[in-house]
Amino acid sequence: MPKSSRRKHPIVNFYWRKLTFFAFFFAVLGLGYAGAQTFSADTNKYMPPTDAADLTISLKITADGSVIADGQKLKNRVDTTGQSDELILPILDNTGVGYSSVHTLMTLPADVVKTSTYDIKGIHGVDTLSVTAVSDNVIDYYASGVGPDATLSVIINMPQGTIEPPLLYRLYAIASKIKVSAWYIAAFALPIMTLIFMIGFIMLETRQQHVDIPKKETDSPPMALPPAIAGVLYHQDVGPREIAATLIDLAQRGDIYILDKERDFAFLKNKLDQRLLSYEKILLSKIFKTNVLSNKGEIEQRINNHLYSQKISLVASGIYVLATRLGYFKVNPQHIHRKYTIIGMGAFFVGLVSFLLSMTIFTNPPYILFFWAGMMISGLIITVTARDIPNRTAIGQQVLSNWLAFRKYLSNPEKIPFSYESQELFQKFLPYAIALDCEVAWAKRFSEQDFVLPKWYVSDALSPGLQDFCLSLFPIVSYVARSLASLKEPGFD
Amino acid sequence: MDGTTGAVASQEINVDMNSRPWLLKFVYGGGVLFDLTKWFILSLAILVIINSLFFSIFIVNGVSMSPTFKDGDWIFWSKSTYNNALPQRGDIITLSYPGDPVNKTYVKRIIGLPGETLEIKDEHVFINGTRLTEDYLNYDVDTDPEGVWKLSTDQYFVMGDNRPNSNDSRFFGPVEKRFIRGKAISRLLPMFQLVKDM
């Protein structure tokens, strides 16, 4: 069993800070919701006097549908979404006080008593109930023997149009009357249309920014570029591969060593190289801080201690800025990502806020929730697909075409014949192979050669072969690169 | 490679977070929230939709449906069953109390259907003059008080299985279909059992 197969680097770390953030966020959310529920339950609820055995409540319905009880405006309103303008008002509910008699005198906004239907309902301890019309616009709801646990409700159904609600309530009424199937269609159509639009847009841009796929391969990099720049030209994104390629490139140039132990690994800083690019310096400072040696535990600590890393964002910025300055992109890809992130986030949060509002405002069943969920999914689609929008200039397309010719060489399945020079060829182009997604194919080209361990890779295994080397190195670099890439700050990736 | 590297090495990167304009800080703040919570929020939204429109759990408060459901039982119920079907006699339903539909939800059994005349007489239920067989009641349970209800084309008569201890249509009248919220499918706790097997 090769040593490398025993190596297990976690794919997902346990981020204590992220966990703390979540715990705090949802604790605040939960408390806020509980508080809002309590506030909503307690405010604008009619509180009857408790010092009288016989109670008379003056209830007034205004022209806009508001309800006023003994001068106090209640949260209940006349519902104008149905066939009639309806008010169902539990005027007394488990008050803890008993009453011999309760008269509720309801004044309507117009003389519509004769064309209205009205009722009184009482449960949990009410002796008798009756309703009588006092005049063309006043109704007397009467209950006797109302117990302390009783719920007494008054109901009126006025002809449709009696109430003229404010604009928002009219909109609510319109939304309530939309058919369920319409919400289903809208909810599914919105993300699907967004996806179709984004794919169409990407395809259109891709057609316009056509990159020639070279027929011939070239056996050397088309130009002297840092592997991360070649990677970002290829992916249009700074991800784990660009960081991994940079690490191997730094090792290749003698700036770092990679130490591979049985169950551990470490990075060793070799020297202070003045020729380092800014983003390389920042990457090294993230890994080493002020130390010369940084082992797995220390690197993990530096990664896990942060929700996001400004340094890694700057590494990404540096790579994007370089590639843009070299003329490969029309606009800095980071700006494109940010623009679409803002649009996607906007759609997501608008959907979320509307979803929450609809939950509060709409009574059962709130089919409009489908629509807002669809909007949230559309926001996610925008943020995910925007990374694939082509953004390369004509120069960028041409240069990428050249790099694809080199990639063709790297991933050619033919074995490379043994020669003294070819022994170092593997490690020389390895950073580019990683940046261009073909490191495994590149390694396979050397499978029939005697493997010479790179100077920058120190292992405690006895003379590992190429396979052992790859199976040990790739997980280390991939793990570190993926962990670091995940620390890019939102909006700066 | 060194030549190119040297040519671009002089690039400057702004490393000061405080120098970021307010818009970028806003993007950062919103982005953090979005990045950390998007999948959780979306999952939660889907659960809310399922809970609001399709299936939910109702915890029985009271003994009005005893012995079928006892106080504290968890009932799994469907909110969409009656979207395209009418409630049937014997169905156990959740309904909004017509006097306070927002805050009070009950679980009852459908006894009378639209258009029928329901009479309670001699401690039994009669539908259109025919005595209703109610196997779900305890043998010693009597139905009171006496009365006659003529149901309109949209009204249902509901009662709890524990007739002496149930507030139902006998007291608050027949209920319109719009107040019927769904159909009980099974008891979840304390022991799973399908309603149809009860």
| Mean of pLDDT over chain A | 85
**pLDDT exceeds cutoff 70 at A1:** no
Q: Which residues of B123-137 are buried (b: 16+ CB within 10 A; e: fewer)?
A: eebebeeeebebeeb
Separation of alpha carbons A152 and B100, rounded Å? 9
Is A93:A137 a contact under the CB 8 Å cutoff? no
Asked whether B156 and B180 are in contact (CB, 8 A), the reply is yes
Domains in chain B: ranges and CATH: 17-53 (no CATH), 60-197 (2.10.109.10)
Distance from B48 to chain A by nearest Cα, in Å? 9
Q: Which of residues 37-76 of A touch B (CB under 8 A)?
A: none
Q: Does any domain span residue A423?
A: yes
Domain of A141?
54-176
User: pLDDT per residue over A61-76, tens digit each?
Assistant: 999 999 999 988 888 8
Distance CA A294, CA A265 (A): 9
Indicate whether A347 and A448 sit together in one domain: yes
Mean pLDDT of B6-25: 52
Could you give phi then psi for residue A12, rounded to 5 degrees? Answer: -120, 125
Q: A311 or B151: which carries more pLDDT confidence?
A: B151
Residue linked to tokens 């009005």: B64
Share of residues in chain A with pLDDT > 70 (%): 93
Asked whether residue A169 is domain-assigned, the answer is yes
pLDDT tens, residue by residue, B90-117: 999 999 999 998 888 999 999 999 999 9
- Mutual angle of helices A240-252 and A466-485, in 10-degree steps: 130
Which residue carries 């964002």 as its tokens?
A313
Positive or negative torsion for Cα A335, A339, A345, A346: positive
Contact criterion met (CB below 8 Å) for A312 and A286: yes
What average pLDDT does this structure show over B48-73?
89
How close does chain B come to A422, measured CA to CA in Å?
19
Q: Return left, alpha or beta for B21; rule: phi > 0 is left, psi -120 to 50 is alpha, else beta.
A: beta
Output the pLDDT for position B112.
Answer: 94
Considering only CA atoms, which of A104, A476, A30 is closest in space to residue A264?
Answer: A476
ipTM score assigned to the predicted complex: 0.77
Residue at A67 is within a domain: yes
A197 Cα distance to chain centroid: 20
Residues A317 and A429 both lie in one domain: yes
CB A64 within 8 A of CB A141: no
Q: Are residues A155 and A296 in the same domain?
A: no
CB A99 within 8 A of CB A126: no
For residue B196, CA distances in Å to A326, B74, B193 come to 73, 16, 8
Asked if B7 reaches chain A (Cβ–Cβ under 8 Å), the answer is no
Residue A78 has pLDDT above 60, yes or no: yes
Given an 8 Å threshold on Cβ–Cβ distance, is A151 in contact with B100?
A: yes
Contact A86, A156 (CB under 8 A): yes
Return the bridge partners of B67, or none: none
Identify the pLDDT of residue A39: 63
User: Any idea what the CATH number is for the domain that residue A142 is in?
Assistant: 2.60.40
pTM (2 d.p.): 0.72
pLDDT at A285: 87
Rounded Cα distance between B81 and B96, Å, is 16
Please report the pLDDT score of residue B18 as a whole number: 55
Q: Name the pLDDT band for B174 (thresholds 50, 70, 90).
A: very high
Res A386 pLDDT > 70: yes
Residues on chain A touching B108 (C-beta within 8 angstroms): none
Same domain, A338 and A429: yes
- The pLDDT tens digits of the residues spanning A26-50 come to 788 788 877 776 666 555 678 888 8
CB A369 within 8 A of CB A400: no
Chain A residues inside the 8 Å CB shell of B46? 373
Do residues A156 and A278 share a domain? Answer: no
* Cα A3 to Cα A52, A430, A458, B114, B141, distances in angstroms: 88, 22, 15, 77, 76
Q: Which pLDDT band holds residue B77 (cuts at 50, 70, 90)?
A: very high
Q: For B40-63, what is the mean pLDDT? A: 88
pLDDT confidence tier of residue A469, bands split at 50, 70 and 90:
confident
pLDDT of B21-44, one tens digit each?
777 777 778 888 888 888 888 888
Q: From CA A435, how far away is CA A409, in angstroms rounded?
A: 14
Residues whose CB falls within 8 Å of the CB of residue A276, separated by 6 or more in sequence, listed in order: A255, A284, B9
In a domain, A36, yes or no: no
Report how far residue A409's alpha carbon sits from residue A273's, in angstroms, rounded to the nearest whole number. Answer: 31
Shared domain check, A318 and A226? yes
Residues A159 and A301 placed together within one structural domain of the fold: no
Are A386 and A336 in contact by the 8 Å Cβ rule? The answer is: yes
Residue in B closest to A120 by C-alpha: B99
With respect to residue A18, please indicate whether it lies within any of the assigned structural domains: no
Instruction: List Cα–Cα distances, A95 to A38, A152, A349, B102, in angstroms.
Output: 17, 10, 40, 18
Task: Identify whether A464 is part of a domain.
Answer: yes
Contact map slice: A 98-157 vs B, CB within 8 A = 119, 121-124, 151-153, 155
Where residue B72 falls (left for φ over 0; alpha for ψ -120 to 50; beta otherwise) is left
Both tokens of residue B166?
């149930």
Q: How many domains does chain A have?
A: 2
Same-domain status, A323 and A230? yes
Q: Please tell me if residue B99 touches chain A, with a CB cutoff of 8 Å.
A: yes
State residue A157 phi and psi, 5-degree precision.
-120, 105
Q: How far apart are CA A311 and CA A305, in angstroms?
A: 13
Q: Which residues of A touch B30 (CB under 8 A)?
A: 342, 345, 349, 490-491
| A158 and A207 housed in the same domain | no
Spatial separation of the C-alpha atoms in residues A201 and B60, rounded to whole Å: 54
Residue A104 falls inside a structural domain:
yes
